């Protein structure tokens, strides 16, 4: 059976990053560089991946997990040497192997698929992924024959003046026939000034044996950009951000100001939703159609249904149902479930609570560890007092109840359906259905108290 696999080289230290952690673990959009590459490999239909680790190997393994195969390069003796460390995984196998780099996060699944298809379609022993770049300084140049096949790869330092004018460069990423790669690796030597084994030399070995070597040129040269320092890391982040936002806009999402908008790659957003400036949408968030999000909002790993508005607010690991309005300046904390047509107004905080359909919590209210029914009104300044100093307790408010301003609900407590609670009350006992609860002292008036106490303000004479 023909085998399809990938080898990702991720053993280097990356000194120019000036960091205590491995270069390939530096992140773009919360995901390590090497994982961006592995994600593209998986999306291209390649399930069998070997990552060659070296510097901070244990850190890389811990971050990526046990689902990936690993090879260890104890000493970094060149790219060819790195691939040699993975040979045990393709002994006695036939098929194709992609060789990629853990610091090239911009390579796309489509390019990998095209490279494999091109490689097989042309019966190549090796296929080089190339691109035209404006400034090819430092890159190996691709020298082609009249029929488009690769004659050789010339390193910049060895190139003639004419060859230096060639814009097509070697990305360092390849597709090999497994058997041909094995044979070329066996002939590889380190007879050079650096004493290293270069993967590029395998191309020369195959060409000298009369093998067919091709090159597939990709349109977007950004895909071959490697990350060597923090400046390039930021540039790659901008490119990935633009790709993500472009995908959403192509699918019918309006993004008012892409420059100030951050949306993670795993987010889903329905058509005709509008994203206002300074909005951050993170994690595995799913937003429906016809929503208005922002300005100045942050949503993390939450489910937002159709027609929802979230303005100047934070929503964390929660769900919000259809036509609900949140904000401005609301805070929906993890574990909350907000129903349909709910109003969560300004300076309202909801924590690990269920809010029923058509309920209004308009302003300056805290709801924690509670179940609030349908059609409930919580007035300004209501506080669910859910913590007794040792544990969190639950409050239940039944359907169609009315809780007046500045009410404290001391958990655990239950307010039954259709109950009313007078403003300023502190509720410690259950309130029956259809009842009115008043829990405050009667107002006392002491006539002329200020005069008798000598506290009356008198005008001062000059």
Identify the active-site residue in 26, 38, 119, 363: 363
Residue 363 designated active-site: yes
Query: Is residue 330 within 8 Å of residue 344, measured between CB atoms?
Result: yes
- DSSP string of 29-76, one letter each residue: TTEEHHHHHHHHHHHTT--EEEEEEBTBHHHHHHHH-TTSEEEE-SS-
In 334-412, DSSP assigns E strands to 337-338, 343-351, 354-355, 360-368, 370-372, 377-378, 383-385, 395-397, 402-403, 408-410
Number of helices (H), then strands (E), belonging to the chain: the values are 9, 39
Instruction: Walk across the sheet containing 413-415 and list its strands.
Output: 268-269, 286-287, 303-304, 319-320, 337-338, 354-355, 370-372, 395-397, 413-415
In 186-264, DSSP assigns E strands to 213-218, 254-255, 262-263
Q: How far is CA 270 from the centre of its chain?
A: 18
Cross-strand partners of 410: 385
Give dist(CA 344, CA 310) in Å, integer: 9
Query: Is residue 400 within 8 Å of residue 374, measured between CB atoms?
Result: yes
Burial of 208 (0-12, 13-18, 19+ CB in 10 A): exposed
Query: Is residue 50 within 8 Å of residue 9, measured between CB atoms?
Result: no
Q: Which ranges constitute the DSSP H helices of 44-177? A: 57-64, 79-84, 109-121, 161-164
Query: Is residue 26 within 8 Å of residue 32, measured between CB atoms?
Result: yes
Return the active site residues: 363
């Amino acid at each position: 059976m023909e085998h399809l696999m990938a080898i990702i080289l991720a053993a280097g230290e990356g000194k120019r990053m000036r960091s205590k952690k491995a270069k390939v673990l530096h992140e773009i959009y919360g995901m390590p560089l090497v994982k961006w590459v592995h994600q593209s490999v998986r999306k291209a239909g390649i399930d069998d991946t070997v990552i060659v680790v070296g510097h901070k190997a244990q850190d890389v393994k811990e971050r990526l997990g046990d689902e990936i195969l690993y090879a260890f390069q104890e000493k970094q003796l060149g790219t060819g040497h790195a691939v040699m460390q993975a040979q045990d995984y393709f002994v006695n196998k036939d098929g194709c192997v992609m060789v990629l780099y853990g610091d090239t996060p911009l390579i796309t699944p489509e390019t990998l698929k095209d490279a494999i298809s091109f490689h097989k379609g042309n019966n190549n022993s090796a296929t080089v992924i190339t691109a035209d770049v404006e400034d090819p300084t430092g890159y190996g140049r691709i020298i082609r024959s009249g029929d488009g096949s690769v004659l050789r790869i010339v390193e910049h330092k060895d190139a003639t003046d004419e060859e230096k004018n060639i814009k097509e460069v070697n990305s360092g990423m390849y597709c090999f026939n497994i058997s041909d790669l094995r044979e070329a690796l066996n002939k590889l030597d380190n007879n050079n000034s650096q004493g290293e084994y270069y993967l590029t030399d395998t191309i020369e070995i195959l060409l000298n044996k009369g093998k067919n070597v091709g090159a597939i040129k990709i349109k977007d040269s950004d895909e071959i950009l490697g990350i060597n320092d923090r400046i390039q890391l930021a540039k790659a982040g901008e490119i990935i951000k633009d790709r993500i936002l472009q995908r959403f806009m192509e699918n019918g999402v309006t993004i008012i100001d892409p420059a100030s908008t951050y949306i993670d790659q795993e987010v889903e957003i329905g058509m005709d939703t509008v994203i206002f400036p300074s909005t951050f949408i993170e994690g595995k968030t799913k937003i429906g159609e016809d929503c208005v999000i922002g300005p100045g909002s942050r949503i993390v790993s939450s489910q937002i249904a159709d027609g929802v508005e979230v303005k100047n607010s934070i929503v964390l690991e929660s769900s919000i149902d259809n036509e609900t309005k949140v904000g401005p300046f609301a805070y929906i904390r993890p574990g909350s479930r907000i129903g349909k047509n709910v109003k969560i107004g300004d300076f309202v905080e909801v924590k690990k609570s269920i809010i029923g359909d058509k309920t209004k919590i308009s302003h300056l209210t805290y709801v924690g560890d509670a179940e609030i029914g349908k059609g409930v009104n919580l007035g300004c300044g209501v506080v669910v007092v859910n913590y007794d100093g040792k544990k969190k307790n639950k409050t239940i408010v039944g359907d169609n109840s009315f809780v007046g301003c500045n009410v404290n609900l001391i958990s655990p407590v239950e307010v039954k359906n259709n109950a009313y609670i007078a403003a300023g009350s502190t509720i410690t006992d259950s309130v029956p259905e259809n009842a009115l609860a008043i829990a405050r002292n009667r107002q006392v008036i002491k006539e002329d108290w200020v005069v008798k106490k000598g506290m009356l303000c008198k005008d001062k004479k000059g």
